[in-house]
Amino acid sequence: MIKKLDKLVLKSFIGPFIATFFITWFVLMMQILWKYVDDLVGKGLDFATIGQFLWYASASLLVLALPIAILIASIMAFGNLGESFELVAVKSSGISLLRFMKPLIIVAILLSGVSFIFGNHIIPVANLKFAALYNDIFYKKPAFDLKEGVFFGHIPNYAIKVDKKDRDGKTIHGVLIYEHGNPLQDNSIIAEKGVMSVSPDNNYLEFHLMNGNRYQERGFPGDSTTEFIRLSFKSFKKLFDLTSLKKANTSDSLYKGGQKMLSARQLNRNIDSLQHLRDTAVYYRKSVVDYNLPYLRVSDSVSKDKMIHVTAGIIPDSLQKAIYSRSYHIAGDIRNFMAFNITETKSTLDQIRMTKMEWHRKYAMSFACLILFFIGAPLGSIIRKGGFGMPLVVAIVFFLIFHLLNMFGEKFVREDITSPFLGMWLSVLVLTPIGALLTYKAMTDSQVFNKEAYTRFAKRIKKIFIQSSK
């Protein structure tokens, strides 16, 4: 049964959490938009496609926005309760801070579970959709946008320029069209004016040209007897195929093997398969060496150097050159095989490391929600300031520490400086003792952020120095 005290703390947390979550998600989504804005502008994309792109791109940011929102909301909630002396009243009635935090601890655990479920099942699908959609947008040519005095060359085999466009957007003057399909030279069309329109299915661009000439050369390359043709016209219709400017629809299956597109169970299967490949490569390398260099299997009781010396002494002179040549080729083959095998093994080890990194990321990011709560709630009760002032500043500091540790940990894993476990759990391992310390300080009514406490401490230090100098 939920008591009034639990309702109080839940009510003080839910409002700031919802607000900060959506604000944080929006800010992170704007960063994504600025990152990819150059790939979106000028492509003639509809709002539905842009909306899909932003959703797929920002879905992975939800697991980052969630711990930030928990941190800020917990600081604000307990800061507001402390500022209004409700927290003092609760403590004076004999209720411990941990009991007061109990409903929010349960909420933080539930949010951690939501973060893991979302990161394990929804984000891989969103990443898969994003990769396919981004590939389509990236390779999509710009939408048809004919500017005055500028050649438009994105329609295959054509370059189009107009001197002037009327305000209706259809009537054009001083039309020049180059056709690149002729191996001899570029055919061209020059017209005084015209009207352009797009077919109902948007597959063709129609130019209705008036008062112009078409220039064409016919013959074979290298033939000096080619003929030049000039065709004058009062009215001429030219069609351009616009299907090449449309966005393609790449299949999702093209990217389904990426680590970011897999769940934890799929990542585990990939790790097992990659480790089997690594073990097979190592075994194959050893078997090839044993087959080509059998004397390496001689027991230690027999000197390998002595065996080679004796064997060399009984080889006839007529065969030594052939045997040396054969040995040279065997050594070269072994060297080439070893170089290829080692390169392949290193690539497999890199894939294992990246796969483990993504596996640990799913659990570390969800567990971070709980850790940041145990940092935010004690900080709020210690600071005893509500609103977006001091709590927001402190929250930003701790989030920067959390985010930088995540970045450094991932970089260390990618460069094989540390293990995937240590790299992806680095922020959690560093912040967990801090959260435990802050919780202890809050339970014992510590004055960590009390300016007067530091002032008194400075006065005592100053007094000690004065007395020692006498």
pLDDT at residue 438 is higher than 70: yes
More confident residue, 254 or 38: 38
CA–CA distance, 280 with 292 (Å, rounded to integer):
18
More confident residue, 249 or 323: 323
Average pLDDT over residues 269-280: 86
Alpha-carbon radius of gyration of the chain: 36
Average pLDDT over residues 107-127: 88
CA–CA distance, 175 with 158 (Å, rounded to integer):
13
Q: DSSP states of 142-159 as a string?
A: PP----BT--B--STTEE
**Contacts of 366 by beta carbon, 8 Å cutoff, 6+ apart:** 63, 112, 113, 115, 116, 119
Mean pLDDT of the chain: 78
| H or E stretch at 31 | helix 4-40
More confident residue, 364 or 325: 364
Find residue 178's DSSP bridge partners: 159, 188
pTM: predicted TM-score of the whole model, two decimal places:
0.68
Percent of the chain exceeding pLDDT 90 equals 4
pLDDT at 110: 93
pLDDT at residue 203 is higher than 60: yes
Region of 446 please: left (phi>0), alpha (psi -120 to 50) or beta: beta
pLDDT at 408: 92
Among the listed ranges 118-132, 137-151, 407-421, which one has the minimum average pLDDT value? Answer: 137-151
Average pLDDT over residues 157-168: 84
pLDDT at residue 266 is higher than 60: yes
**Residue 58 in tokens:** 């920002």
pLDDT at 144: 61
Residue 217 backbone phi and psi in degrees, to 5: -115, 130
Q: Could you read off the pLDDT of 279-302 as tens digits, one per residue?
A: 888 887 778 777 776 656 655 555
Average pLDDT over residues 124-140: 74
| H or E stretch at 217 | strand 204-218
Among the listed ranges 20-34, 246-260, 351-365, 426-440, which one has the minimum average pLDDT value? Answer: 246-260
pLDDT at 96: 75
pLDDT at 1: 42
pLDDT at residue 23 is higher than 70: yes
Residue 361: count of CB within 10 angstroms of its CB: 24
| H or E stretch at 392 | helix 390-414
pLDDT at 387: 61
Average pLDDT over residues 438-454: 67
Question: Sorting pLDDT into bands at 50, 70 and 90, what band is 43?
Answer: low
Residue 444 DSSP symbol: T
